[in-house]
Structure formats: C-alpha cells, structure tokens
Amino acid sequence: MPNPNQFLGRATVRWNGNVIETNSGASLDIGGVGRDTIITGTRVGFAEKTMPAILSCETSLEPDMSLDELRNIDDATVQFECDTGQTYVIRNAFLTDTPVVKDGAGGNVTLNFSGPPAEEIE
C-alpha cells in the first residue's frame, strides 16, 4: 500500500507488457467527456464530445531499440502506472506521430500515444 504522504514522483509506461524506460515528465490525459461552451443569446451551456486519451513520454535510444517497431505500434494496450498506486490503461492505442530522436543527452525519443478514453484499473 502506498504511503499516504506520497505524491506522484514516477510513472512506468508499458505497451503490450513491454516496459518503456521513460525519462522524467511522462504525462497522461485520460480523455473521456469533454465539453464545449455554447452561448446562445444570454444563456451559457455546453455540448459534450468524446475526447481521446493521450499519453506522451520520452525515452532514451538504446542499442537494441527499434524506432521502426515503435513507429508501427497500433491496436496496443498501453498502461500508465503511477508510483502512488493508480494504473490507467488505454486499449486499442496507437502511436500518433513518428518517433523523433535527438542526438546527445541520451538520444531522447519522443513517443505520443492516443486511443479511447483511459480506464483506471485495480
């Protein structure tokens, strides 16, 4: 059981069970119902729409890492596991952009996943 005084410090990202060793700063937008503001006359209301889950992270290029394999991620199960105990899963996830690698400082590779709204699992 996590410490009640602990706050999120580190997340683990997995796709189809494979751990992606992420650099600090991974983020998750769980998606779900989004609302657009609607103004008509003097009334203010909203219209709902489905928003996708978006998981963004950076990893460092390692000798056995295949950018081609990462580029082709589709219909994957992607998990965002918090060190505070929560786990969110995006089913049928896909990589939205081709991986971008930068030289120096570990060869950072940016990965952006999307899919249906994330579910919190126990």
- Whether the predicted pLDDT of 38 surpasses 90: yes
Average pLDDT for residues 11-28, to the nearest whole number?
92
pLDDT the model gives residue 89:
98
**Whether pLDDT at 1 is above 70:** no
What is 11-121's CATH topology?
A: Elongation Factor Tu (Ef-tu); domain 3 (2.40.30)
Structure confidence at residue 78 as a pLDDT band (50, 70, 90) = very high
Cα 68 to Cα 45, 72, 104: the distances in Å are 45, 6, 20
Read off the pLDDT band of 27 (50, 70, 90).
Answer: very high
- On average, the pLDDT of the chain sits at 93
Instruction: Report the pLDDT value the prediction gives residue 2, as an integer from 0 to 100.
Output: 64
Q: Using CA atoms, how far apart are residues 101 and 77, in angstroms rounded to an integer? A: 23
121: pLDDT strictly greater than 90: yes
